[in-house]
Amino acid sequence: MEESMHKAFDELQEKVDSQALQDFGPEVYRRWKNPDYMARMQNHDCMAAVTGSCGNRVEIYLVLEQEVIARATFFSEGCGSSVVCASMTCELARGRTLDQALALGAGDVMQALPGMPGSKKHYAALAVKALHRAIETCG
C-alpha cells in the first residue's frame, strides 16, 4: 500500500514538473527547482526584509566591495514565483554599483525571466523593493 502511494505521488510530481516546465520555460523552472543565491548570509554589509501584501517575505543580503555589490543572496519562504524573482534580482544586482542597482526595476527582472507570466510581476516588484531597502541600509 505504502509503495503504491509513493509511486502515485512520484507520478503526480512528474506531471506537475512537466507542466511547469512547459508553462514557464526552462529558466524559470530551473530557478524554481534549484534557486541560485538562496541563503541567509551571516556576514553581510546590508540587509533588508520586505513582506508583500500577498504575505510573502523576501530578505536580501549584500556584500560590497568599493561601492559595488560583490555578493547578493536572498531568503524567502514564499511561493515559487517569489523565489524565482528574488533569485534573478540577486543575479542582476551582482557587479553593479549601488546607484546602478537602485535603477533596477520589476520590469528588468521580468525581462530577464522569459516565461514568467505578467500576472506575477508583483513578485518581481517585491524582490526589487527588498533590494532597494537593503541598499538604503548600507553605509
User: pLDDT by residue (tens digit) across 75-126?
Assistant: 998 899 999 999 999 999 999 999 999 999 999 999 999 999 999 999 999 9
The number of beta carbons lying within 10 Å of the beta carbon of residue 22 is 10
- CA–CA dist 62, 39 (Å, integer): 11
The grid coordinates of residue 50 equal 520586505
- Is the pLDDT at 3 greater than 80? The verdict is no
pLDDT score at 41: 95
Query: In Å, how far are 13, 24, 47, 108 from 134, measured between CA atoms?
Result: 36, 29, 5, 18
Tens-place pLDDT, residues 44-64: 999 999 999 989 999 999 999
- CA–CA dist 87, 90 (Å, integer): 5
More confident residue, 1 or 32: 32
Q: What is the phi-psi region of residue 66: left when phi exceeds 0, alpha when psi lies from -120 to 50, beta otherwise?
A: left
pLDDT score at 119: 95
Long-range CB contacts (within 8 A, 24+) of 65-70: 67/97, 67/98, 68/95, 68/96, 68/97, 69/93, 69/94, 69/95, 69/96, 69/97, 69/98, 69/101, 70/94, 70/95
Q: Do residues 3 and 92 touch, judged by C-beta distance below 8 A? A: no
Which DSSP state fits 117? -
Q: For domain 32-136, is the CATH number 3.90.1010.10? A: yes
pTM: 0.90
Mean pLDDT of 18-29: 88
pLDDT-based confidence at residue 10 (cuts at 50, 70, 90): confident
Q: Do residues 86 and 134 touch, judged by C-beta distance below 8 A? A: no
pLDDT score at 60: 98
